[in-house]
Chain A
C-alpha cells in the first residue's frame, strides 16, 4: 500500500482541458472517491494514476516516488475497468491469474492463487468457463479478482458497478466496503453515483469541469457542502436551493423570498462581507430536514402541493411556488400523508445552508 499525490496536474486533449491544475493527496490506506457528473475528468484523472494517460503538466507520485512518466507495468497497481476488460479467449482461471503469469509465476502457483481469490468472491466453481459464459455480476467479480490476485500499491476502480442492476450493485458495494475494512487498501474509486461515494469513501473529491470542488470526508461533504454544485450533487433527492434576498438588520441576517418566513440568522463574518457587495444569496435546505408545518414554527416555506410520492418508509412531498420553483421534503412516517392544496413546510435554523452570489458556502461563525 502507498499514498498517491497529484501535484498541479493538468491534462489537455488538443484544445480541450479535461483536468485543470489538480492537486490531491490520497493517504496510505485511504479509499478516495472521485465523484462528479459525466465528462468532468474523473476517468482521465484515474488513468493518469495508472499511467494510461500522461499529464500535460504537473506530476504524480505513488508512495513518494515520481511516476509521472513511468509505464503502467512499472507502477505496481491494479485497476478494475468499467467494461471489465476480461480476455474473451481465456477461461476465468487464466483471466484472474494473468497478472501472475506476466510476473513469471509457475502455472501451479498461479492457479492455486486464482482459486483462492475466486473462492473469496464466490466464483471458484466457474474457473473453467470463458467470460461469455457467465453473468454480468460474475464478470464484475472476475475483474475484481484479477485486480486482487497480486499485492498492489494502489487499487483503481473506474465505475466498476455501473453495469450492474440495482440489487447486485448494492451487494457489490457492501462487499467492497468490507474489503476495504479488511485489507485497508489504498483505493481510488471513480463514480458518478453519490450514494456509492458516500457509502465507500473515507474521503470524497467532488469534481466539476476538470476541477476539484471539494475534498473532504463524506459526512463533511454532506453537512457542509462547499458550493451549490456540491450541495446539489450530493444527497438524494438533492438539496432544495432557493434564491433569496438578504440584508443585515436587527443584529441578524434577515432573509426574504416569496412564501418564505424566517427568523433572522446569526451574522457571520463571511456573510457580512458577502452582503457588502450584493444582497442576493442562495438558501439551501435538505429534503430530509423539512417537515409539514404544524403551526407556530418560525421557519417555513409555503406553496401549492405539486406531488406526494409514497416510497414505503418515507414520502416525498413537493410544493411549487408561484415562480415555479419547487421544494421537496422527505418525510419519514408510516402513515399516509393527506394534504390540502396549500402546503407549508418547516425547518430548523441549524439546517439552513447559505451560499453567496458565486455559489460559495457562507459558513456560520464557529463552523
Chain B
C-alpha cells in the first residue's frame, strides 16, 4: 500500500516537473505570438491590451522589409528547385549506376560542401562570384547555396534511394517501359518522400541564412528578409521590439506553412518496400 502511494506521488512529481520545463520553453514562443499585437514594447510576457494591428501596418509600409520577404521567397524557391532537381537526378544516378568510385565522389563533395557554406570561404566565394560578374544578382545567391547544400542533399537522397529495391524500375522496364518512363512512373513517386525531406531542409536553410546574401548582394531591393530585419533596429542598434516582433512573425510564417503543407500532403513518412 505504501509502495503504491510512493509510486503515485513520484508520478505526480514527475509530471509537475515536466510541465514546468515545458512552460519554461513555451514562454518565448508565447511572447513571440503576443508581442506583435501589443502597442507597447514589453520584454515581459503580457496579454496585449489593447489588442492592435498597428505594428503590422507600420511593417507593411516599410517597402524594404516587405520586398525582403519577397526576395527571400525568390532565393529560397529558386535554390530549392535547383537543389531538389539536381540532387534527385544525381542521387538516382549515383545509386543505380555501377560506375566505379561513385561513393568517393559523394564523400569528397560532402567534405568540400562544409567549406563552401562556412564563413571561411566567404572571401574566395565573393571573388569568384565577382569575377563571373554575378555580384548583386539572385542567381549568385541561389548558386552558392546550391553548392553548399547539394552534396548533403545528394548524400541523404542516395542513401534513401539505395534502400528502394531496384526491382520497381526493373519490373517496369520488363513490362515495356523505357528507362525514362520507369523513372517518372515508378521511381520518382517512390522517391518523393525523400525529395520532400530535401526540399524542406534546403528551404529552411536558405530562408534563414544571413551571411551569404549579405555579402553577395548590394542593392537594397534584392536583400532577403534575414537582412531586411535589421531595418527594425534604431541607428544606435537597439531593436524596436514591437515592429521586430511583427516582422519576425511574418518572417516565420512561410516556414510554418511549408511544414504544415508537407505534413498534410505527405505526412513526412516513407513508403518503404513491400514485404510479405
Asked if A and B bind, the verdict is yes
Q: Which residues of A contact B (CB under 8 A)?
A: 50-52, 71-73, 75, 77-79, 81-89, 98-99, 101-103, 131-132, 136, 139-140, 146, 150, 156, 163-164
**Are B177 and A73 closer than 8 Å at their CB atoms?**
yes
- Contact residue among B167, B178, B275, B276 (Cβ-Cβ distance under 8 Å from A81): B167
Whether the pair B186, A81 counts as a contact (CB closer than 8 A) is: no
Which bracket fits the contact residues of B? 20 to 34
Across the interface, A83 reaches (CB within 8 A) one of B177, B181, B274, namely B274
A132 to B176, CA, bound (A): 24
* A78–B275 CA distance with the chains assembled, in angstroms: 21
Asked if B17 lies at the interface with its beta carbon under 8 angstroms from chain A, I say no
Residue-by-residue, is B175-191 near A (CB-CB < 8 Å gives 1, otherwise 0)? 11110010001100110
6 A-B contacts (beta carbon < 8 Å): A51-B173, A52-B174, A71-B178, A83-B165, A132-B271, A136-B276
On whether the beta carbons of A85 and B170 are closer than 8 Å, the reply is yes
Say yes or no: B174 contacts A83, CB within 8 Å: no
With contact pairs A98-B185, A132-B274 given, residues A85 and B178 touching in the complex (Cβ less than 8 Å) = no
Bound complex: CA A183 to CA B167 (Å): 26
B272 to A, closest residue via Cβ: A88
Residues of A contacting B186 in the complex (Cβ-Cβ under 8 angstroms)? 87
A73 x B178 contact (CB < 8 A): yes
A98-B175, A98-B185, A163-B276 known; 17 new pairs, CB 8 Å cut-off, are: A73-B177, A73-B178, A75-B174, A78-B175, A81-B170, A81-B171, A83-B167, A88-B272, A98-B177, A102-B175, A102-B185, A103-B176, A131-B274, A132-B271, A132-B274, A140-B276, A164-B276
Return chain A residues, CB-CB under 8 Å to B174: 50-52, 72-73, 75, 77-79, 156
Cβ-based interface call for B50 (8 A): no
Q: Are B171 and A139 in contact (CB under 8 A)?
A: no
Interface residues of B in 228-276 (CB under 8 A from A): 271-276
Q: In the complex, what's the smallest C-beta–C-beta distance from B146 to chain A, in angstroms? A: 28
Q: What is the CB-to-nearest-CB distance from B180 to chain A, in angstroms, rounded to a whole number?
A: 11
* B177 touches which of A51, A102, A132, A156 (Cβ 8 Å): A102
A75 to B175, CA, bound (A): 9
What CA separation (Å) do A85 and B273 show in the bound complex?
8
A163–B186 Cα distance when bound, in Å, is: 23
B51 at the interface (CB under 8 A from A): no
Q: Does B81 contact A (CB under 8 A)?
A: no
Mostly, the B contact residues are helix
Task: For A164, list chain B residues within 8 Å (CB).
Answer: 276
- What's the Cα separation between A77 and B189 when bound, in Å? 25
B168 located at the interface, meaning its Cβ lies under 8 Å from any Cβ of chain A in the complex: yes
- Across-interface contacts of A82 in B (CB, < 8 A): 167
For the complex, what is the distance from the CA of A82 to the CA of B166, rounded to whole Å? Answer: 12
Known: A71-B173, A99-B175, A102-B176. A87 touches B273 (CB 8 A): no
Task: Determine which of B170, B190, B273 lies in contact with A72 in the assembled complex, contact meaning CB atoms within 8 Å.
Answer: B170
Alpha-carbon distance A136/B276, docked complex (angstroms) = 5
Q: Which residues of A contact B190 (CB under 8 A)?
A: 87-89
- Complex CA gap A77/B170 in Å reads 12
A72-B173 contact, Cβ under 8 Å, with A87-B168, A164-B276: yes
Q: Select from chain B the residue with minimum beta-carbon distance to A82.
A: B167
Residues of A within 8 A of B177 (CB): 73, 98, 102
Cα–Cα distance between A321 and B271 once the two chains are bound (Å): 56
CB of B172 within 8 Å of the partner chain: yes
A87 touches B189 (CB 8 A): yes
Chain B residues, CB < 8 A from A146: 171, 175
Q: In the complex, what residues of A have CB within 8 A of residue B167's CB?
A: 81-83, 85
Q: How far is the CB of B5 from chain A (nearest CB, A)?
A: 47
Residues of chain B within 8 A of A81, CB atoms compared: 167, 170-171
The contact of B271 among A78, A79, A88, by CB within 8 Å, is A88
* CB-nearest residue of chain A to B271: A88
CA separation between A98 and B168, bound complex, in Å? 12
Task: Kindly list the 4 A-B residue pairs having the minimum CB-CB distance in the complex, ordered from nearest.
Answer: A136-B276, A99-B175, A163-B276, A85-B167
- Bound: A210/B223 CA distance, A: 65
* Selected contact of B168 from candidates A72, A77, A85, A136, CB within 8 Å: A85
Which of chain A's residues have a CB closer than 8 A to the CB of B185?
A: 87, 98, 101-102
Whether A86 contacts B175 in the complex (CB less than 8 A), given A72-B170, A81-B167, A102-B181, comes out as no
Report A-chain residues with C-beta under 8 Å of the C-beta of B165: 83, 85
